Chains A and B, each alone.
Chain A
């Protein structure tokens, strides 16, 4: 808002005054912004939450063909020890024909271990397919019972309303049978 309450001074006075106005306003704006940052930052995950954001999983008890579900950052992570047939099936597909084209090689670090976040990319349900008795869908992977999305043995969407493949979290092998999910 402009206004002219100040009686006009000489030219020098005006320069001095303008400088002081800009300096005060500038420091005020910068100071306020800096002061607000800690408050905004306090809403980010706290240190204890971050400390639990990385989990180590021991894979040694998981036999070929079995799957386990681990909780990571409050979400289910599907880890499947794939059979050679699973891998073969996943790699036999023409990648370009997929809805969300992604090669199986790009979704795994070691072919026998598939690690992915078990949340359907359609509307957030948890697909079936982890337990031996579960329906695995038309492609022997996972099947989301909410709206009928079918995922293949690489966790890629093949049929149904979901738009994307099951996401692969960031993980690394610490040794042959231990993975760490989440970055450190």
Chain B
């Protein structure tokens, strides 16, 4: 028993040390509203994705986000992971014209994309992206939920966190605060002034499965899609993880029993 307490102490020490690290990330000096935390299907020990939701998320991405944000490192073939069939993915890919070449005459040419092509970027380079977006490069979204603390909650909150005017609590923090021209106020963006205008309004798009496209619904679906884009291995990881944990716990139990058996005669 004593030994177990000691192991417990070690574990507590470990968590204590590691909390130091995360505490630093959470500390942002934020007087505004807390991050929203809707229930995510991918949270927890049994986390998984819902294919209908992933497809809706892809529809939001392609209708709303894709004109400015890319999905680097991803290919059209990956969309099979959303539950689309081979033919559907081929059709999606073929709806994009991409540049290829040079051909035998040394000329670049365009052709419909195939499943093995990378998902088309909205801008050819960062300079063009900057030019089109008031000096800010719209960040790549394929790793977004991994690249921000509390990624899914953050992106969800950000999408729904726009305010028409500057709220009172901001002026309590900084009486001088104003939103520069060309920017929008967002409760959750560091510094509150964000280059991206509000995107999600009621009625901007319709889902092909008939779900009502409210801003909350769109935000939730697109964040689920982005989480899938960032962690496509999540389902496999958690499925495997459960087997591994059960195996290791049983194994450790057997080892403990054997260890006790051996030590019985030594005390």
Contacts and interface: CB of A to CB of B under 8 A. Distances in A.
Interface of A: 6-7, 9, 13, 16-17, 20-21, 23-24, 27-28, 31, 48, 51-52
B113 to A, nearest CB: 13
Contacts, number: 35
A16 B261 contact: yes
- By Cβ-Cβ distance, the 9 closest A-B pairs, closest first, are A20-B258, A27-B251, A7-B265, A51-B116, A23-B254, A24-B258, A17-B261, A24-B254, A51-B77
Nearest to B254: A23
B251 A28 contact: yes
A51 B248 CA distance: 35
A107 to B, nearest CB: 29
Contacts of A7: 265
Interface string B224-267: 00000000000000000000000110110011011001101100
A48 B254 CA distance: 42
B75 interface: yes
B248 to A, nearest CB: 8
A183 B125 CA distance: 36
A20 B261 contact: yes
A6 B262 contact: yes
Given A20-B261, A31-B247, A31-B251, 18 more contacts: A6-B265, A7-B265, A13-B261, A17-B258, A17-B262, A20-B254, A20-B257, A23-B254, A24-B251, A24-B258, A27-B247, A27-B251, A27-B254, A31-B248, A51-B75, A51-B77, A51-B115, A52-B116
Nearest to B118: A48
A21 B260 CA distance: 12
B258 A23 contact: yes
A74 to B, nearest CB: 15
B127 to A, nearest CB: 28
A52 B264 CA distance: 60
Contacts of B250: 27
Nearest to B114: A56
Nearest to B266: A7
Nearest to A51: B116
B71 to A, nearest CB: 15
B265 A9 contact: yes
Contacts of B251: 24, 27-28, 31
A135 to B, nearest CB: 24
A13 B248 CA distance: 25
A115 B247 CA distance: 50
Contacts of B265: 6-7, 9
A181 B264 CA distance: 66
14 contacts: A6-B265, A9-B264, A9-B265, A16-B261, A17-B258, A17-B262, A20-B261, A21-B258, A23-B258, A24-B258, A27-B247, A31-B251, A51-B75, A51-B115
A52 B117 CA distance: 10
Nearest to A48: B75
A161 B77 CA distance: 44
Contacts of B116: 51-52
Nearest to A38: B240
B109 to A, nearest CB: 15
A155 to B, nearest CB: 26
Contacts of B254: 20, 23-24, 27
A28 B250 CA distance: 11
